[in-house]
Amino acid sequence: MKKWILASMVFLGTLTIKAQTEKGSFLVNGNTSFSFSKKTQKIKEYDSSITSFKENLFGIEISGGYFILNNLAGGINLGYTNRKYRGDETKVFNIGPYVRYYFASKKIKPFIEGAYLFGKEKYFYKNANEIEKKINTYSGSFGVAFFIFKNVSFDVAAQYVYSKPSSFSGYEYYNSRFNFRTGFSFFLN
C-alpha cells in the first residue's frame, strides 16, 4: 500500500501543468484531522450551562476544487469524523462547500480555508439507544503547503470547528474545538 501511494505521488509529481495555484487549475485534497483536546459544549435546557471535557477525535476529508482566480480555489468537501468520550461514540458524515486562498510563494505556501458542511450525526451511547440528528458545521483553517513536487504538496494546518446539531428532547447545544490537520494536495490542469 505504501509503495502504491509513493508511486502515485511520483507519477502526479511528473505531470506537466501551468502552475500550482493558477486560475483554471484543479485541486484535489486528502486530509486527516485529529484532536486530543478539551472540547467546550454549551447546553441550553433550563438555563445556559457550559461544560468542558476531554475528547478524542479522528477525521478524514476528501475535497475537490477549481481555481476561480490565481491562488483562490473553491469546491466541495466530503468528511467523516469519529469522536469518543467516556465510552460514548459519535460519527459524523457531512458534505459542503469550501474556499481556500494561497499566499504567493514558491515552494512553501501559507493558506487560509473556510468551509460550511451539513450532514448527519449519529450518537452511540454505551447505555442507551442510537440517536441520529442533522448537523451544521463551520470551520476555519490556517496552514502551510510544502510543495514536495511541482504539483503535490504536504499540508499542515490548525483548524477551528463550530458545529450545531439539531435539538432533541429539549436539549439544544453546540460544540467548538481546535483540530490539527495533515494531508496531501494535488494540483492538476
C-alpha cell of 2?
505504501
Residue 13 has a pLDDT of 44
Which range, 34-38, 71-75, 176-180, has the best average confidence (pLDDT)? 71-75
**DSSP per-residue string spanning the chain:** -HHHHHHHHHHHHHS--S-TT-TT-EEEEEEEEEEEEEEEEEEESSSEEEEEEEEEEEEEEEEEEEEEETTEEEEEEEEEEEEEETTEEEEEEEEEEEEEEEPP-SSEEEEEEEEEEEEEEEEE-TTS-EEEEEEEEEEEEEEEEEEEETTEEEEEEEEEEEEEEPPBTTBEEEEEEEEEEEEEEEEE-
Neighbour count for residue 158 (Cβ, 10 Å)? 12
Chain position carrying cell 446539531: 165
* pLDDT tens-digit map of 82-120: 887 777 788 999 999 999 999 977 889 999 999 999 999
CATH number of the domain to which 88 belongs: 2.40.160.20
User: Quick one: what percent of the chain has pLDDT higher than 90?
Assistant: 45
The total domain count for the chain is 1
- The domain of 177 spans 2-188
* pLDDT tens-digit map of 10-50: 444 444 334 578 999 999 999 888 776 555 565 555 455 55
Residue 189 has a pLDDT of 84
